[in-house]
């Protein structure tokens, strides 16, 4: 599983106004989203519906892990293809512009990836401090080093 949290990917939904009580499973793997709601009334109560939700979640995660195992090591994939939204031409590297509360604008090149423990990691390089080309180069280098490519 991707997290030490026993309820990883599972949320509780209690909406008295519409009579909805149960557990929602939501997980995304390789750009495929999995989701299902497990109603307390349908599954025999709060604890039983949670058990069923965990089994559903575990089947999804276990199936994904089996497909991604390489030499008994879980391979975590992090943005494997360039999409049409990518304007940098490099997977996991993007240009960020932010405005401060005073209205000043800051520009960064950001590299992002998923660590082996499943957590997202990002690093930013300032265009103001390093210049456009150097900030971009360092972001690309950081991303390549982090994902081992």
Q: What pLDDT shows up at residue 27?
A: 86
> Residue 146 pLDDT more than 90?
no
Q: Which residue has the higher pLDDT, 27 or 137?
A: 137
- Flag whether the pTM goes above 0.75: no
Quote the pLDDT of residue 33.
80
Confidence (pLDDT) at 74:
38
**Kind and range of the H or E element at 141?**
helix 132-147
Query: In 3D, which of 111, 106, 120 has the Cα closest to residue 3?
Result: 120
User: What integer pLDDT is reported at residue 67 of this predicted model?
Assistant: 46
- Return the domain boundaries, the chain: 10-74, 93-147
**Per-residue pLDDT tens for 64-119?**
554 444 433 333 444 455 666 677 778 889 999 998 889 899 999 999 988 777 78
Question: Which residue has better confidence, 71 or 139?
Answer: 139
Q: Contact at 8 Å (CB) between 11 and 23?
A: yes
Tens of pLDDT, residue by residue over 47-76, are 999 999 999 888 888 875 544 444 333 334
No. of helices (H) and no. of strands (E), the chain: 4, 8
126 membership: H or E segment, kind and range: strand 120-126
């Amino acid at each position: 599983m991707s997290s030490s949290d026993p309820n990883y990917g599972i949320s509780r939904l209690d909406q008295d106004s519409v009579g909805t009580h149960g557990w929602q499973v939501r997980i995304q793997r390789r750009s495929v989203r999995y989701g299902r709601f497990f109603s307390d009334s349908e599954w025999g109560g709060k604890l039983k519906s949670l058990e069923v939700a965990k089994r559903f979640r575990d089947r999804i995660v276990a199936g994904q892990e089996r497909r991604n195992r390489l030499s008994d090591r879980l391979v975590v994939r992090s943005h494997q293809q360039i999409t049409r939204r990518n304007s940098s031409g490099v997977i996991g590297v993007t240009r960020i512009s932010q405005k401060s509360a005073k209205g000043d604008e800051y520009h960064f090149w950001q590299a992002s990836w998923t660590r082996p423990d499943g957590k997202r990691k990002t690093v930013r390089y300032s265009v103001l401090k390093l210049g456009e080309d150097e900030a971009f180069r360092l972001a690309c280098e950081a991303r390549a080093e982090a994902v081992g490519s």
